[in-house]
Structure 1
């Protein structure tokens, strides 16, 4: 009875904003994902570029930047993104800083898809415990929203190229912010990603050795499979079904599959925490377990917490309390391989 109530609550929450998500035409726009691409006219050509990007370490490596690009105004920090899009608002990155008063530890938070507000309670909680929290706005969210849009449709959609561009932009923005934090004297940098934000946080951790701890809430390996099977992305799957199949989507979005970077995530100086919901209908548990198996096989240092809740009910008591306590423990000490249920 208890869990049935949470299941119904999750389904009700999943319906919120669903009417705004429409079936759209599948678009390649390969030049957005791969700037040197020209005359890419079919999905097989796009897939080859996606697979090549996985084998290209520099694809997710953000260019070096000038510290003078950063502007601090009170609790906010803004700087230009190194990837320029046709939405001017999206080209300026905004971050909310909740200062701990210490330059010892900083936690960069990557929020979930279509987040409407930043995580004030989390920021206040950890800042009082000596960890400065920086909540970065991902592409097409918060101050970076596309004018007239009802949700962040440009970040995740049936436009194959723009989706890769958006995730790559988020990863570059995160690395640029982390370099600024290091220049400000922060000793230990951690990242926390939630749902879609966990893909960004995972990609950042895989490509930026400044990251010492990565906490991934509600994550999986293959973004393509998440979109194909998940409750929140039905409209995107319907867009794809008449044009491309899952096998092509996996290849096209290969750069966005965390499973392709498990050996980078398994480096000795990186600790990883994964929090998953066993009743999740947005990111199915088999996707999370597949990533866990790959990470274990690669020798990653893992701390895993399984909670008997759904994707959205993780955000309410008692589950958010369990997750918060586990996150605090993880950030305060070196993690060892552990499995908690």
Structure 2
């Protein structure tokens, strides 16, 4: 009885958190073929216009091409304009609640009167170019740790959740720094400093424009790998990634494509991108657009297969790495069955992983006391995994 009451309370709390922001916008379905030129998007657009193939079938075929040859799709050229810039931290909120806007104004005020110090940010031009210049300047706050004597230089690349503000996950970076592990807190495509001025939220990262959503995944992977290139140029030998929610998907894809990533922490995880879009509370406005266009869950899975961790499970398992999967029992954004599917596939592929369970939901992970439980799970895993890497390399 108590467990039933707890579940009811947790689901109500989770629902309240996922519905409090009223600036989610339902935009009409767009195929976005022009965002996928490397797999023949322009050719498909022309065929659709001539009536030779439907938009749906064309997008399914493009995803099949991506999955069949991910090395080509996720290939990139290392940027040549890496630089460290000093900037005042800004919040870049994605909601318009009065308390959040007041917090943003306070940070601006503190910067203007000299109460805030400038912090280092790694900046460079993304290897994947989009239609938005501000999105194509990669932004990553740099937390440089003092190297520990006798240890290799170690670093984490940290990617928060979808629609995170610019301060989300900074506490993880501070914790890693205290342990002698440097961090790049990477702004995902269309997030915070990279968000186009026309947006209140980071909607273009995941939207009813299918090609743009796939392009954002490709760009995120290229940006992570470019960050690794820079870290290695600075002498870093052992590198890991931490991703939460959408950041978890990006982290998985990068690790599947790049054997240099040796430690992976997935804070909420799922196998199929389209299933989360269809079933998750946070993406109900996108599902609505798809439903209005006649799509089903199965078709949504197919048109987003190229962005799905499940499509690259074999590649992820092909190179040694240690992984953490944190999932939440009452998750309404990454429903429990999808996270359990990740664990099932990790076992079947003999991946070295650790599973941890939170007695909360997706959004409530950021609330007391669950955020401290999550911080302990992630922090202990990162610390112990890098300790193991050091011992093996000694």
After TM superposition, the score normalised by the length of structure 2 is: 0.81
Give the C-alpha shift of residue 13 in structure 1.
Answer: 1.6
Give 5+ residue unaligned stretches, structure 2: 49-54, 87-119, 389-394
The aligned runs of 1:92-107 (5 Å cut-off) are: 92-102=137-147, 104-107=153-156
Look up the SS of the partner of 2:274 in the other structure: helix
Question: Which residue pairs with 1:339 in the alignment?
Answer: none
Which of 158, 161, 165 matches 1:116? 165
What is the distance in 2 between the residues matched to 1:61 and 1:49? 14
Question: Which residue pairs with 2:124 in the alignment?
Answer: 79
What is the distance in 1 between the residues matched to 2:73 and 2:355? 26
1:83-103 CA-to-partner distances (Å, cap 9, x unmatched) read 111111001001001111126
Give the C-alpha shift of residue 11 in structure 1.
Answer: 2.0
Q: Is the 8 A contact 1:62 1:175 kept in 2?
A: no
1:256-297 CA-to-partner distances (Å, cap 9, x unmatched) read 111111122223521111000010001101011112211211
Give the C-alpha shift of residue 155 in structure 1.
Answer: 0.9
1:158-188 CA-to-partner distances (Å, cap 9, x unmatched) read 1110100011111111111111111111111
Give 5+ residue unaligned stretches, structure 1: 337-341
Question: Which residue pairs with 2:13 in the alignment?
Answer: 9
Q: Is the 8 A contact 1:60 1:171 kept in 2?
A: no
1:100-137 CA-to-partner distances (Å, cap 9, x unmatched) read 11262111011111111232221111111111111011
Look up the SS of the partner of 1:185 in the other structure: coil
What is the distance in 2 between the residues matched to 1:279 and 1:58? 36
The aligned runs of 1:31-110 (5 Å cut-off) are: 31-35=34-38, 36-37=40-41, 38-40=43-45, 41=48, 42-66=55-79, 68-74=80-86, 75-102=120-147, 104-110=153-159
What is the distance in 2 between the residues matched to 1:315 and 1:39? 42
What is the distance in 2 between the residues matched to 1:267 and 1:329? 25
Which of 22, 27, 30 matches 2:25? 22
Q: Is the 8 A contact 1:215 1:273 kept in 2?
A: yes
Which shows bigger deviation, 265-274 or 204-213?
265-274
Which of 351, 370, 373 matches 1:322? 373
Give the C-alpha shift of residue 224 in structure 1.
Answer: 0.3
What is the distance in 2 between the residues matched to 1:329 and 1:62? 33
1:6-54 CA-to-partner distances (Å, cap 9, x unmatched) read 433322221232x222222111112303433224321112101101110
Which of 317, 322, 328 matches 1:266? 317
Which shows bigger deviation, 55-64 or 165-174?
55-64
What is the distance in 2 between the residues matched to 1:61 and 1:282? 27
The aligned runs of 1:108-257 (5 Å cut-off) are: 108-118=157-167, 119-243=169-293, 244-257=295-308
What is the distance in 2 between the residues matched to 1:268 and 1:139? 27
Give the C-alpha shift of residue 322 in structure 1.
Answer: 2.2
Q: Is the 8 A contact 1:198 1:216 kept in 2?
A: yes
Please provide the CA RMSD for this pair: 1.8
Q: Structure 1's 59 and 279: CA in aligned 2 closer, same or farther, altered over 3 A?
A: farther
Q: Is the 8 A contact 1:60 1:207 kept in 2?
A: no
Give the C-alpha shift of residue 210 in structure 1.
Answer: 0.7
Look up the SS of the partner of 1:89 in the other structure: coil
What is the distance in 1 between the residues matched to 2:75 and 2:124? 14
Q: Structure 1's 109 and 34: CA in aligned 2 closer, same or farther, altered over 3 A?
A: same
Larger Rg: 2
What is the distance in 1 between the residues matched to 2:66 and 2:58? 13
Give the C-alpha shift of residue 332 in structure 1.
Answer: 2.5
Q: Is the 8 A contact 1:214 1:271 kept in 2?
A: yes
After TM superposition, the score normalised by the length of structure 1 is: 0.93
What is the distance in 1 between the residues matched to 2:223 and 2:216? 10
Q: Is the 8 A contact 1:34 1:49 kept in 2?
A: no
